[in-house]
Amino acid sequence: MEERHKRILQRNRVNLVRDLDPSDMYDGLLSKGIFTQDMIDEIKSSGIRRDQARQLVRDLETRGSQAFPALIDCLHETGQHSLAELLLDGEPQNQPLPQPVHVRPVVRPLPVYSPMDTDKPVHVVTPVYPTQSVKPMPTTPSPSPEREFGKPRATGRVRRDSIQSYKMDANPCGHCLIINNVDFEPKSELSNRTGSNIDCDKLERRFRSLNFIVLVKRNLKQKQIRQELLALSKVDHSQYDCCVVIMLSHGTEVGHNRFPGAVHGVDGPNVPVQHITNYLNGQNCPSLQGKPKIFFIQACGGGERDTGFEVSPDEARTCIGGTGDQTDAMPMSSSSDSLSTQSDEPDARATLPTPSDILVSYSTFPGYVSWRDTQAGSWYVETLDNILEENAATDDLVTMLMIVNHEVSQNSAKGLYKQMPGSFNFLRKLLYFQAPPCQRPIQS
């Protein structure tokens, strides 16, 4: 689609989402070759009428130069003449849309009085624009983008008890995919991850008890990891409330602009965590829109070992760990598997929506190693499993992960090395898992 047509759609997106009836448009857009039947089905699965309208408008921008004229034709054919006229009003006749003019501000000092000395003026620099573009200064703050879209900015303090919780009562609750990489190919130059099967078994039992459909995949190559995530994104999650992905593998540090780190396939190449999350975002997995997507990453974030810092005696604790402790580390990657490659995959588009309803929990701070006991499993998974068993009936996920962070931070490997888990949290509500009946608090 031409840039001028994209700008018209973007400028009128609110009106289109509010008023457009997409159900009448599908046959016309299909017959004109703008969408395929699979694309139409994907838009239909995105949710209610407003969600379908929003997805239709977004997808139209990617469908070539005939998409805009076809949209106008379909609007007229379905009797939605007012929307067609609204879009045509923004279409200049044989003229490109004007480009915005950037005017450099003229800086002039304005006198103000110091709060410490009301008799002596001081000067601050305030930008004043040239006369031809100066407008009267409003007496109230300019509206934010949220206000322009009819959503006033919240004022005052938000109470914790006013925060909503995600719906988590579906039976079963949702899918849980566990990828457990233990045995690495010699060409990968990565050691086998002894003890990871212990982690996998614990988490499989735990999430089954939390009413998830658990699928375990072992020893996957990089391409197979992507295939499993793509298959999960194609599942119809409309009857479920949540989705969980657990990655147990060697890890490394990679460049990113949202979620750091990457996990290795058993053949050596890695999949960035940012790509892993993108498979399930609201754009690539419409049936999970507005639902929590939780990712647990048991892998190193890099090769640096944290020796910690000295604390007061009341903060100290007996060392945990021994000679069997191993790491899941690899040096920082500069391989061809960067964020700009694999453009045929749905998670590698040039622009992606801001992630929402996503939480990524890392076993260690980006850049540092993650410790694993060959007999007991990793520190992070052992602690996470214990906290879920003890607290899932009463605490939300973010609270439980904070407890995990604290507990793991108290451990020491070989009496020297430390580990600090953490999360990248884009959840909008509290998340409470379905606790097994034996864990639920007794109602008085």
Q: Residue 41 sits in a domain of what CATH number?
A: 1.10.533.10
94 within some domain: no
The predicted structure's pLDDT at residue 323: 44
Answer yes or no: 300 catalytic.
yes
Do 51 and 196 share a structural domain? Answer: no
The predicted structure's pLDDT at residue 167: 96
297 within some domain: yes
Q: What's 189's domain CATH number?
A: 3.40.50.1460
107 within some domain: no
> Tokens representing 122?
């001081």
> Tokens representing 348?
């590698």
Query: Of 72, 89, 106, at which residue does a domain stop?
Result: 89
Separation in Å, CA 286 to CA 7, 54, 279, 281, 398: 24, 12, 11, 8, 24
359 within some domain: yes
C-alpha to C-alpha distance for 63 and 68, rounded to whole angstroms: 9
Do 201 and 81 share a structural domain? Answer: no
Given CA atoms 73, 74, 80, 84 in this order, what sign does their dihedral have? negative
Q: Say if residues 422 and 376 touch (Cβ distance below 8 Å).
A: no
C-alpha to C-alpha distance for 425 and 356, rounded to whole angstroms: 9
The predicted structure's pLDDT at residue 260: 85
Domain count, the chain: 2
171 within some domain: no
Answer yes or no: 242 catalytic.
no
> Tokens representing 401?
């992960």
Please give the residue range of the domain that contains residue 286.
184-439
382 within some domain: yes
Do 334 and 224 share a structural domain? Answer: yes
Query: Of 68, 89, 110, at which residue does a domain stop?
Result: 89
C-alpha to C-alpha distance for 71 and 80, rounded to whole angstroms: 11
Main-chain dihedrals φ then ψ at residue 245, nearest 5 degrees: -125, 130
Do 188 and 85 share a structural domain? Answer: no
Which position among 250, 264, 275, 285 bears the catalytic label?
250
Can you give the length of the chain in residues?
444
Do 299 and 428 share a structural domain? Answer: yes
Q: What is the 3-state secondary structure (H, E, C) of the chain?
A: CCHHHHHHHHHCHHHHHHHCCHHHCHHHHHHCCCCCHHHHHHHHCCCCHHHHHHHHHHHHCCCCCCHHHHHHHHHHHCCCHHHHHHHHHCCCCCCCCCCCCCCCCEEEEEEEEECCEEEEEEEEEEEECCHHHCCCCCCCCCCCHHHHCCCCCCCCCCCHHHCCECCCCCCCCEEEEEEECCCCCHHHCCCCCCCHHHHHHHHHHHHHHCCEEEEEEECCCHHHHHHHHHHHHHCCCCCCCEEEEEEECCEECCCCCCCCCEEECCCCCEEEHHHHHHCCCCCCCHHHCCCCEEEEEECCCCCECECCCCCCHHHCCCCCCCCCEEECCCCCCCCCCCCCCCCCCCCCCCCCCCCCCEEEEECCCCCECCEEECCCEEHHHHHHHHHHHHHCCCCCHHHHHHHHHHHHHCCCECCCEECCCEEEECCCCECCCCCCHHHCCCCC
177 within some domain: no
- pLDDT average per 10 residues of sequence, the chain (444 residues): 84 87 87 86 82 86 87 89 84 49 48 45 44 44 39 51 86 97 94 90 96 97 96 96 96 76 93 93 90 91 39 43 48 31 28 69 72 73 93 95 88 62 91 79 51
The predicted structure's pLDDT at residue 117: 45
The predicted structure's pLDDT at residue 53: 86
Which position among 74, 176, 243, 300 bears the catalytic label?
300
> Tokens representing 402?
């904070």
Query: Of 41, 59, 89, at which residue does a domain stop?
Result: 89
125 within some domain: no
Separation in Å, CA 204 to CA 123, 151, 190, 215, 285: 65, 42, 25, 8, 24
Q: Say if residues 173 and 433 touch (Cβ distance below 8 Å).
A: yes
Do 83 and 199 share a structural domain? Answer: no
